[in-house]
Amino acid sequence: MKKILTALILSTSLLAFAQNEGTLRLYLTPPAEAVTIDGELMEFGNSAKLKPGKYFVQAWCPNKAVLDTVIEIKAGEILSFFYRFENNENYISYLEETKAYVKKRNVHVALPVTATAISAGALIFTYFKGKQLNDEADAKYLEYKYAGVDIAEKEAEFNQAQDKYRNYYYAQFVEYAALAVSSYFLYKGIQWLKQNPKPELEKDKNPFKVDQVGFMPNRYGGYGVGLTIALD
């Protein structure tokens, strides 16, 4: 009977103690890498048992603005705190610089690469097509040269084949010139790329630093190591 009574008293005490506390649950997006409550580091999980009152909460996530707010805990209640981090100034600046850099790189490099590839492809096609038409024109010339009574017809066929080849023959020079121009700008673009490296994102450091370390009583009647964190 004494054991039952002792267990009942202990259970009642724990229940009363629990009712004198509130629960804070943090739902941060993306997950924070460091959270402090009144300057003390929150080490495990996303929830904490706290006595009723107001608390200063800070949270840090790389490349995000530091969460800096005050929450109020009430006895026996669960406070679910939802928050989405916003980009910090350094990361916003990096994104803007990268966007501007990509635009310039497209002008200096991507466009010349595309123009050079198109010019080279067109030139290769024109060369082989012109060679084919040249062979056809040579064949038509032989037919015309050794033609009999239909010499006029063969001459017309030869002239037609020669005109087709001539168009591709002169087109080669235009495409050679286009390839030379685009290659020149591609060379300049490569030089620009060497002189203008892509912006790099500076590593974001944890702004919370250990201000002091000491032993403090915990709610179980013992002592634990306490870390006091300061915003760097």
Of the candidates 207, 229, 197, which has an alpha carbon nearest to the alpha carbon of residue 90? 207
73 with 53: CB under 8 angstroms?
Answer: yes
Residues 57 and 117 in one domain: no
Residues 187 and 118 in one domain: yes
What CATH number is given to the structural domain containing 17? 2.60.40
Residues 118 and 185 in one domain: yes
Q: In tens digits, what is the pLDDT along the chain, a chain of 232 residues?
A: 444 433 333 343 344 444 689 999 999 999 999 999 998 888 778 899 999 999 999 999 999 999 999 999 999 999 999 999 999 999 999 999 999 999 999 999 999 999 999 999 999 999 999 899 989 888 888 887 887 777 888 888 888 988 988 888 899 999 999 999 999 999 999 999 999 999 999 998 888 866 544 444 444 344 444 444 455 5
Structural domain tally of the chain?
2
Q: Which domain holds residue 170?
A: 90-195
Residues 137 and 216 in one domain: no
Residues 6 and 99 in one domain: no
d(CA 142, CA 137): 9
pTM of the shown model:
0.68
Residues 94 and 77 in one domain: no
Residues 211 and 135 in one domain: no
Residues 143 and 155 in one domain: yes
Residues 164 and 217 in one domain: no
Residues 57 and 104 in one domain: no
62 with 33: CB under 8 angstroms?
Answer: yes
Residues 135 and 211 in one domain: no
